[in-house]
Structure 1
Amino acid sequence: MNKIAVVGAGISGLSIANYLEKHQLDYHIYERRKKDDLTGHGFLLPKEGIEHLSQIVDPDVLFKQGNFLKKYIQYSHKGKILAEKDLHDVFVISRSSLIKILTQSIPAGKISYEETIMPCSIQKGKLKKQDGAYIDSDVAIVSDGSKSRIRREIFKDEIMKIVQENEIVNIIKCKDIAASLEDNFMKYHHEDGGLTFGILKLSEDTVLWYSQFDNEKYKISEQCSVDSLKKYMFEVFDDWDPMVSSIVKGSNYENVHLWRVYELEKLNPFYKDNIVFIGDAAHPLIPFTSQGVTSALKDSFTLTKYLISEKNTSDAFRKYEAERKPEIETHIRNGRILLDQFLKPLNQQTDSILPISYK
């Protein structure tokens, strides 16, 4: 196998790099952010995600950095229990912890930070740096996120749609709140629909929380500051269950993240020439599916498998897409169903909707 360039050192890029490292394939990672930029907050991993991650990281190290969840409990916004469901092998971990774990197995010399990579419009399949220098690689694996610059440059006719949902994500450190949560995934729903608040315990003193908004009903300014976002959260959740309001008011908003969600109107091919896409760069998923990390891990495993077994990259890319695309399309359909449910008033929603998509 010839030299491989991996674009992006997020979860997808580091996952594929770990698989390439495991099989002793030659690669180099290019990441546009700084080395210590660990923005983002946390992920849910169902059983398949744990199984694939355990192939490339030590499970004992992994499990010390997160938490297994016992139940999904759905509440009204005032705290009335609406439904409960047992969870089996569902794990929650912070993004920074998972990034650190995945980075441990990658030699420092194989990652270049603060490098923005773009495709060359003259030479097909070639990537170049901002200074115009070409990347020395025969294959490029692109994992630069849901709004991938490289994907948009290659598939110029693609249509990205704004999803009718925004998310605000944050972390609170508080032993008392963490202790009161046990190990449950708690999600509060406003009776009018289009507004939820989710709570997940990461450790004995750390809680991940997120709020989902119908962005047509609950307007959030494009240029909102941290202070204005904090004020907005205080106002919206002032009369919710005391657990929710105490988390909202007790959080530090320095690293709060506002996520504007997009999706492709139609999936592009997963590859073009010698450039192949994985994770969100190939197939942005609506966050209701909780399948982003697992899909990235399965993409990485599948692509590596065919890069090893096939004699040429065209066959490897073709088989990778053929295996992964049907499952991704299932998650896209499920995500749209879950979004539709989220937008409806509670009395019109299907009972006990679990915010995880299964194939």
Structure 2
Amino acid sequence: MKKVVIIGGGVAGLSLGLLLKKNNFEVVISEKNAKMTSRGHAFLMHIDGWSILEELKEGLDIPLPGEEIGVFCLNNQNGVPIKKQKLNLWRCIKRRDLIQFLYDLFPAEQLKGGRAFSHFIYENDKVVAAVFQNGEVEYGDIFVGADGAGSAVREATIGPVPFTAIEVKEVVGISSHEKLGEIYQNVFTKFQYQNKGLSFGMIPVSKKDFVWFMQYSVKDGDCNQACTPEELKAFCEYQLADFPPVVAELLSNNDYKTSYIWNTRDFGLLPKFHHKNVVFIGDAAHLALPFTSAGTTNAILDAHKLTEQLLIHEDCEAAFTQFYDDRKESIEKHINLGRELKELFVNPSLTDNEKMVVPLISKKIDEDARFEKLIDVQYFTDPICSTCWVVQPLLRKLKLEYGAYFNIEYRMGGLLPSWDDFQRGAISKPSDVAPHWEEVCLLHGIPLDGDIWLEDPLPSSYPPSIAFKAAQMQDADLAVLFLRRIKEMLFLEKKNIVDLDYLEKAAFEVGLDSARFLRDYESTAEIAFREDLIKAQDMQVGVFPTLIFTNKNNEQLVSKGYQEYEYLEQIIHELVPNAKKRIINSDPMYLFGNFSTMTNKEYSFLSNTSMEETENILLDLYTKGYVDKYESKNGIIWKSKLAIY
């Protein structure tokens, strides 16, 4: 097995060293600092990164440091809420705690401090050894530059990179405050000045400690990099004078001797991350501006992906090339997003509050987005329609097997304006719905609890329909999750989804900006709902669900009410004769990755397993802690613990 010499003992270098050691590589890490440094204070890390850390400590009773962050609140400088969104699996970790966590896992004798990189020794145009400023030499087969943004390894191999100008700086510190720790637990709170580039953020990193930062545009004022703690304190107090009292309260406990100014900059995507047998990872390979909070997560993902490729390829350059190909698209997006957010920060007049990006929201990438869609589907539905609930397994299967061929647009049909003069079949009053739902449950094997129509009947389906349009105006994909969530609230949890508190809760749970959701619900969403009602009338929609399929030749086929899955398949094939069914991956983690909640019937239908086998699989996942469950009167719904909501 090849010997790997890692230059840089930060998060990237230590993570790579541990992953390689786990796979029996010979590894030596050389770090320029003789002792562990606490500089950097803390950072946010997505589960993409900390799930790898969990993997590294597998079988060891070592807790992962940090606090999970579940909420992002953005306010203006006066404390007025602009956005409030759920964060999906982020964690704030003190840098010192994470480095110590990694140090404790790595063999001490293979981590050599006091080694500042000097130069390489070459033979036959390949590096055979790294030389350090203290005179020590380390021979190896593969050399990794994990030495940060100003990488000496990178410069020694490919030369200097063109850094962007420093337009934004950050003052960073850690402050303890027990009272605020109780109030702001698990919440990332940010205050943004609306007329200039200035913001303040506070993120809990323990029960009482906060990492805080003040971002500011240098064109609006600056502080000397070599300023004294007293001068830094005065600068911060001057800049933040108009901010809410909580800012001054947190900073009243801050020790400015440990705070510092960070010059933020980046460089463009490199044409490759290696030269011969030398490869770069983390900030040495790619540097984005801090607005995306992606640096630490990307460093760990680099380590994981590089290890994978070194295990696959005997030739290290082939491994490095594939490593670059695997990472370049994601990295370039982070670089571009960082630049976009910097531009908006420096010039806040370029956008309004509604369009401000929250970069920490993680959103699943649609596997079918790259395909040209040959069919448009208009789906007329209603949040309280029981048939629309029991067709969920069919629509989910259609998405997995034929999603490459169609786009689907959700429209509200207005099933129940009110109970005044309502008559649909045998149903004319709320108590008629209860036995109907019980019958639907028995017929289709999908849990519904009709007791809500006896205990707390809904007066109309219009309020949740308007709420869906408010969600759809903000994000079409999250609106579908919102619709699913309010249906679960109604059909299983017996929640009256006319209640705005439940609707706001559902919006927040699925990742929508609940502050904007409420504003849209109270204003323009009703107009959008009325447009759906007019559309339904024009297209003579009288049954729910109704799906109208239209191909590129304007050929149209319609599915009304409950139909068997084969009927929907037939429609796809009639409109696109050469359509090919995609084989569904029946692995439970794949299915829960696509659909964060599933009933037994849905899992059974999608995975093509018996109901008995399904129950055993789901109970095993529950026992192992992969899913939670909610037990209703007539059945269970299972919820992935790694889901969006």
**Under a length normalisation based on structure 1, what TM-score does the superposition of the two structures give?**
0.94
Task: Write the letter of the residue equivalent to 1:263.
Answer: D
Task: Write the letter of the residue equivalent to 1:204.
Answer: K
Aligned to 1:167: 170
Residues 62 and 45 of structure 1, relative CA distance in 2, 3 Å threshold:
farther
> Quick check: 1:142 aligned with 2:116?
no
Aligned to 1:184: 187
- Specify which structure has the bigger relative contact order, considering alpha-carbon pairs within 8 angstroms and separated by 6 or more residues: 1
- Alpha-carbon shift at residue 193 of structure 1 (Å): 2.8
Aligned to 2:263: 260
* In structure 1, distance between residues paired with 2:30 and 2:11: 13
Aligned to 1:71: 71
> Quick check: 1:156 aligned with 2:127?
no
SS at match of 2:137: coil
| Larger strand share, 1 or 2 | 1
RMSD between aligned alpha carbons?
A: 2.0
Aligned to 1:56: 56
Aligned to 2:360: 356
- Listed as ranges, the gaps of 5+ residues in structure 2 are 366-645
> Quick check: 1:277 aligned with 2:283?
no
Aligned to 2:231: 228
Contact kept, 8 Å, 1:158 with 1:266, in 2: the verdict is no
* In structure 1, distance between residues paired with 2:138 and 2:254: 43
SS at match of 1:146: coil
- Alpha-carbon shift at residue 162 of structure 1 (Å): 2.5
SS at match of 1:259: strand
* In structure 2, distance between residues paired with 1:82 and 1:320: 40
Q: Equivalent residues in 2 for 1:20-169 (5 A)?
A: 20-58=20-58, 61-63=62-64, 65-120=65-120, 124-125=126-127, 126-169=129-172
Aligned to 1:237: 240
- Alpha-carbon shift at residue 345 of structure 1 (Å): 2.6
Instruction: Summarize deviations over 1:268-307 as a string: whole Å, max 9, x none.
Output: 5200011100000000111111111111111101111111
Residues 347 and 276 of structure 1, relative CA distance in 2, 3 Å threshold:
closer
Task: Write the letter of the residue equivalent to 2:348.
Answer: P
Q: Which consecutive aligned stretches of 4+ in structure 1 deviate over 3 angstroms post-superposition?
A: 58-63, 121-124, 131-134
Deviation larger for 274-283 or 197-206 = 197-206
Contact kept, 8 Å, 1:172 with 1:250, in 2: the verdict is yes
* In structure 1, distance between residues paired with 2:353 and 2:50: 28
Deviation larger for 302-311 or 121-130 = 121-130
Identity over the aligned pairs, expressed in percent? 26
| Larger helix share, 1 or 2 | 2
Instruction: Summarize deviations over 1:193-252 as a string: whole Å, max 9, x none.
Output: 311101111111211111111122221213222222122112211231001111223211
- Alpha-carbon shift at residue 253 of structure 1 (Å): 1.3
* In structure 1, distance between residues paired with 2:192 and 2:81: 10
* In structure 1, distance between residues paired with 2:91 and 2:219: 32
* In structure 2, distance between residues paired with 1:144 and 1:61: 26
Aligned to 1:333: 336
SS at match of 1:341: helix
Contact kept, 8 Å, 2:268 with 2:335, in 1: the verdict is no
Q: Equivalent residues in 2 for 1:269-348 (5 A)?
A: 269-345=272-348, 348=351
Task: Write the letter of the residue equivalent to 1:162.
Answer: A
- Alpha-carbon shift at residue 116 of structure 1 (Å): 0.6
Task: Write the letter of the residue equivalent to 1:85.
Answer: Q
SS at match of 1:247: helix
Aligned to 2:200: 197
* In structure 1, distance between residues paired with 2:313 and 2:122: 28
Residues 133 and 235 of structure 1, relative CA distance in 2, 3 Å threshold:
same
* In structure 2, distance between residues paired with 1:216 and 1:15: 38
Larger Rg: 2
**Under a length normalisation based on structure 2, what TM-score does the superposition of the two structures give?**
0.53
* In structure 2, distance between residues paired with 1:73 and 1:307: 41
Residues 336 and 349 of structure 1, relative CA distance in 2, 3 Å threshold:
farther
Task: Write the letter of the residue equivalent to 2:11.
Answer: I
- Alpha-carbon shift at residue 34 of structure 1 (Å): 2.5
Contact kept, 8 Å, 1:190 with 1:346, in 2: the verdict is no
- Alpha-carbon shift at residue 153 of structure 1 (Å): 2.5
Residues 146 and 22 of structure 1, relative CA distance in 2, 3 Å threshold:
same
- Alpha-carbon shift at residue 23 of structure 1 (Å): 1.0
Contact kept, 8 Å, 2:5 with 2:138, in 1: the verdict is yes
* In structure 2, distance between residues paired with 1:37 and 1:336: 29
* In structure 2, distance between residues paired with 1:4 and 1:281: 17
Contact kept, 8 Å, 2:175 with 2:210, in 1: the verdict is yes
